[in-house]
Amino acid sequence: MAELTAALERYLTALECERRVSRHTLQAYRRDLERVLDYCLKLGLERWQDLSEGAVRQYVSQRRQAGLAASSLRRELSALRGLLDYLLKMREIEDNPVRRVKPPKASRRLPETLSVEELGVLLDVTPASAWEARDLAMWELLYSSGLRLSELVALDFDDLDADKTWVRVRAGKGGKDRVLPVGRPAQKAIVVWLKARAALAPLGERALFINCRGGRLSGRGVQLRLAQWGRKMGLDRRLHPHLMRHSFASHLLEASGDLRAVQELLGHADIATTQVYTHLDFQYLAKVYDQAHPRARRRGSEKRGKV
């Protein structure tokens, strides 16, 4: 067990220090790999070198029988493949059997988005307090620049340029920096918030978005505020920060058709990740077609006329 655990810890340290993965991602890797480690211990294995292709396939079978979703199992296999690739690179093992095990196909769910009208309900608001000014600036920035929640709360005051026309995301997912444009409504909302922030933030506080105690606002705090904001505005659906990012990507792709640009703005390493929004766009086009095309309408009318 000691050798299995020591190798796992070395890999997690490498992920944190060399690849600079986020704390959330690191916790997910640890959770998945400790589950595999427990499986290895039950088999009586003492080294990762002893993990065979057959044992990996048996693990996949057991997890599927336990009702694990295909997407979750793909994630676990990816974590294990990464660990064994690392050990192979370090010459601690001679083979990676996970490379020969095909992960189950996961059905790709299309991301939810908000309509332009719903976003208008959310964002066309005059804030009544300093904290509402902060919240509106966050919602505008999420939709304007397609930020992840972790990127939003990590923003510092000096990550904005002097004119508030762009924002720098430092060490986003995968440890990469990127510079993003900020739309005019978001610029105006940020300026209003910064005036209020000047009287609320303690001297030396770097966080762009602070909480009522003067410290950096947490991701959980943002989630709760957005859900509360949506209820206050009368939207009958669950709101979460990633919904703003999905809406940003879908609306931008729908208007521009430039998948590569959207990929860069979202910070996706693989364009295949961005391509999910092309399917979403097709769904929108299909809906328009069904509503507008004469033959599509006639076909629907004929069906409704049958008794």
Report the CATH number that the domain containing residue 271 is assigned in CATH: 1.10.443.10
Residues 164, 197, 245, 246: which is the catalytic one? 245
> Is 58 among the domain residues?
yes
Is the pLDDT at 288 greater than 60? The verdict is no
Answer yes or no: 242 catalytic.
Answer: yes
70 pLDDT tier (thresholds 50, 70, 90):
confident
Residues 134, 148, 164, 225: which is the catalytic one? 148
Q: Are residues 94 and 137 in the same domain?
A: no
Report the pLDDT averaged over residues 90-112. 82
Answer yes or no: 245 catalytic.
Answer: yes
Q: Are residues 151 and 233 in the same domain?
A: yes
> Is 108 among the domain residues?
no
Answer yes or no: 173 catalytic.
Answer: yes
Residue 108 CA to residue 125 CA, distance in Å, equals 35
* pLDDT over 70, % of the chain: 84
Last residue of a domain, one of 100, 125, 158: 100
Which CATH number covers residue 25? 1.10.150.130
Task: Please state the domain count of the chain.
Answer: 2
Structure confidence by residue, pLDDT tens digits, 122-152: 999 999 999 999 999 999 999 998 898 999 9
Last residue of a domain, one of 65, 100, 135: 100
Q: Are residues 276 and 229 in the same domain?
A: yes
> Is 293 among the domain residues?
no
Answer yes or no: 289 catalytic.
Answer: no
Tell me the residue range of the domain where 202 lies.
116-284
Q: Are residues 52 and 157 in the same domain?
A: no
Could you tell me which of 149, 122, 256, 255 has the C-alpha nearest to residue 209? Answer: 149
Structure confidence by residue, pLDDT tens digits, 220-275: 999 999 999 999 999 888 899 988 988 888 888 777 777 777 788 887 777 666 66
Is the pLDDT at 109 greater than 80? The verdict is no
What predicted TM-score, i.e. pTM, was given to this entire model? 0.59
Residues 30, 35, 240, 242: which is the catalytic one? 242
Q: Are residues 193 and 96 in the same domain?
A: no
Q: Are residues 62 and 187 in the same domain?
A: no
- pLDDT of 284 reads 53
Q: Are residues 277 and 170 in the same domain?
A: yes
> Is 264 among the domain residues?
yes
Report the pLDDT averaged over residues 193-222. 95
Is the pLDDT at 62 greater than 70? The verdict is yes
Is the pLDDT at 281 greater than 60? The verdict is no
Q: Are residues 153 and 201 in the same domain?
A: yes
Could you tell me which of 88, 3, 94 has the C-alpha nearest to residue 40? Answer: 3
Q: Are residues 86 and 194 in the same domain?
A: no
> Is 107 among the domain residues?
no
Weakest-pLDDT range from 7-21, 60-74, 210-224, 288-302: 288-302
* Choice between 38 and 304, residue whose per-residue pLDDT is larger: 38
Q: Are residues 124 and 180 in the same domain?
A: yes
- pLDDT of 280 reads 55
> Is 109 among the domain residues?
no
Q: Are residues 47 and 123 in the same domain?
A: no
Residues 173, 178, 216, 240: which is the catalytic one? 173
Q: Are residues 125 and 240 in the same domain?
A: yes
Answer yes or no: 240 catalytic.
Answer: no
